[in-house]
Amino acid sequence: MSRSTVTFVALMIAGSLAVACSSTDKSTAKKPASGQAASPTTKKPATTPAPKQKVASNVASNQTAAAKTEAECAPADEGKGACIDDFVVFCAGGALYALDCAAAFGGSCGETDVEVGCLVPESAAD
Protein backbone atom coordinates (compact mmCIF):
# COMPACT_ATOMS: atom_id res chain seq x y z
CA MET A 1 0.00 0.00 0.00
CA SER A 2 1.23 3.44 -0.78
CA ARG A 3 1.55 6.13 1.83
CA SER A 4 -1.28 8.17 0.31
CA THR A 5 -3.62 5.13 0.38
CA VAL A 6 -2.86 4.52 4.06
CA THR A 7 -3.43 8.20 4.83
CA PHE A 8 -6.72 8.17 2.90
CA VAL A 9 -7.95 5.06 4.74
CA ALA A 10 -6.96 6.56 8.12
CA LEU A 11 -8.83 9.79 7.31
CA MET A 12 -11.93 7.82 6.25
CA ILE A 13 -11.93 5.85 9.51
CA ALA A 14 -11.38 9.00 11.60
CA GLY A 15 -14.19 10.78 9.75
CA SER A 16 -16.57 7.85 10.26
CA LEU A 17 -15.81 7.77 13.98
CA ALA A 18 -16.33 11.53 14.30
CA VAL A 19 -19.73 11.33 12.60
CA ALA A 20 -20.78 8.33 14.68
CA CYS A 21 -19.78 10.00 17.93
CA SER A 22 -21.39 13.33 17.13
CA SER A 23 -24.67 11.74 16.07
CA THR A 24 -25.03 9.86 19.37
CA ASP A 25 -23.87 12.70 21.61
CA LYS A 26 -27.22 14.35 22.31
CA SER A 27 -27.31 17.21 24.76
CA THR A 28 -28.88 16.00 27.98
CA ALA A 29 -29.42 19.26 29.78
CA LYS A 30 -31.20 18.69 33.06
CA LYS A 31 -33.19 20.85 35.41
CA PRO A 32 -34.84 20.29 38.79
CA ALA A 33 -37.92 18.09 38.85
CA SER A 34 -41.11 19.69 40.07
CA GLY A 35 -44.34 18.60 41.69
CA GLN A 36 -45.10 15.65 43.88
CA ALA A 37 -43.31 12.32 43.68
CA ALA A 38 -45.02 9.81 41.39
CA SER A 39 -44.32 6.96 43.77
CA PRO A 40 -42.78 6.60 47.22
CA THR A 41 -39.27 5.27 47.69
CA THR A 42 -39.43 1.61 48.63
CA LYS A 43 -35.73 0.76 48.47
CA LYS A 44 -32.68 2.31 50.08
CA PRO A 45 -29.11 2.85 48.89
CA ALA A 46 -26.43 0.48 50.14
CA THR A 47 -24.62 3.33 51.89
CA THR A 48 -25.68 6.66 53.30
CA PRO A 49 -23.12 9.41 52.71
CA ALA A 50 -22.84 12.40 54.98
CA PRO A 51 -24.99 15.34 53.85
CA LYS A 52 -22.90 18.05 52.20
CA GLN A 53 -25.05 20.51 50.30
CA LYS A 54 -28.43 22.22 50.73
CA VAL A 55 -31.27 20.08 49.34
CA ALA A 56 -33.53 21.37 46.59
CA SER A 57 -37.17 22.15 47.29
CA ASN A 58 -38.22 19.11 45.22
CA VAL A 59 -36.52 16.92 47.83
CA ALA A 60 -37.62 18.73 50.98
CA SER A 61 -41.26 18.91 49.85
CA ASN A 62 -41.32 15.17 49.11
CA GLN A 63 -39.95 13.89 52.42
CA THR A 64 -43.10 11.75 52.87
CA ALA A 65 -42.20 9.87 49.67
CA ALA A 66 -38.65 9.20 50.92
CA ALA A 67 -37.55 6.09 52.82
CA LYS A 68 -36.21 6.68 56.33
CA THR A 69 -32.83 5.02 56.83
CA GLU A 70 -31.48 3.63 60.08
CA ALA A 71 -28.82 6.37 60.23
CA GLU A 72 -29.06 9.57 62.23
CA CYS A 73 -27.65 12.96 61.33
CA ALA A 74 -26.29 15.94 63.23
CA PRO A 75 -28.31 19.12 63.71
CA ALA A 76 -25.70 20.96 61.62
CA ASP A 77 -26.62 18.72 58.66
CA GLU A 78 -30.34 19.53 58.80
CA GLY A 79 -31.60 20.38 55.30
CA LYS A 80 -28.44 19.10 53.61
CA GLY A 81 -28.05 16.10 51.34
CA ALA A 82 -25.79 14.13 49.02
CA CYS A 83 -26.21 11.96 45.92
CA ILE A 84 -25.65 8.25 45.83
CA ASP A 85 -26.69 6.62 42.56
CA ASP A 86 -30.26 7.83 41.84
CA PHE A 87 -30.92 8.64 45.50
CA VAL A 88 -30.78 11.95 47.33
CA VAL A 89 -29.83 11.08 50.90
CA PHE A 90 -30.80 13.99 53.13
CA CYS A 91 -31.08 15.00 56.77
CA ALA A 92 -34.47 15.90 58.22
CA GLY A 93 -35.51 15.83 61.85
CA GLY A 94 -32.28 14.18 62.97
CA ALA A 95 -32.68 11.19 60.60
CA LEU A 96 -31.32 10.42 57.16
CA TYR A 97 -33.90 9.86 54.42
CA ALA A 98 -33.39 8.51 50.90
CA LEU A 99 -35.50 9.78 48.00
CA ASP A 100 -35.28 7.65 44.85
CA CYS A 101 -35.29 10.24 42.05
CA ALA A 102 -35.85 7.58 39.38
CA ALA A 103 -39.02 6.27 41.06
CA ALA A 104 -40.26 9.68 42.19
CA PHE A 105 -39.64 11.76 39.08
CA GLY A 106 -38.14 9.53 36.38
CA GLY A 107 -34.88 11.40 36.87
CA SER A 108 -31.60 11.09 38.70
CA CYS A 109 -29.86 12.71 41.63
CA GLY A 110 -27.71 15.65 40.67
CA GLU A 111 -26.09 18.81 41.93
CA THR A 112 -26.48 22.37 40.76
CA ASP A 113 -24.19 25.19 41.85
CA VAL A 114 -26.07 25.65 45.10
CA GLU A 115 -28.07 22.52 45.91
CA VAL A 116 -28.56 18.80 45.45
CA GLY A 117 -31.85 17.35 44.21
CA CYS A 118 -33.73 15.29 41.67
CA LEU A 119 -32.99 16.35 38.10
CA VAL A 120 -34.87 15.40 34.95
CA PRO A 121 -34.15 16.04 31.26
CA GLU A 122 -35.37 19.52 30.33
CA SER A 123 -38.05 18.15 28.01
CA ALA A 124 -39.52 16.00 30.82
CA ALA A 125 -39.71 18.88 33.31
CA ASP A 126 -41.75 21.19 31.06
Residue 5 within any structural domain of the chain: no
108 SS3 class: strand
Q: pTM to 2 decimals?
A: 0.64
Structurally, how many domains does the chain consist of? 1
Instruction: Strand 116-121: give its sheet, edge to edge.
Output: 30-32, 116-121, 108-111
pLDDT in tens, 39-80: 566 666 666 667 789 999 889 899 999 999 999 999 999 999
Domain around 42? 30-125
* 82 falls within a domain: yes
Residue 90 placed within a domain: yes
> Between 98 and 31, where is the model more confident?
98
pLDDT digits (tens, 9 = 90+) for 91-118: 999 999 999 999 989 999 998 888 999 9
Give the type of residue at 103. A
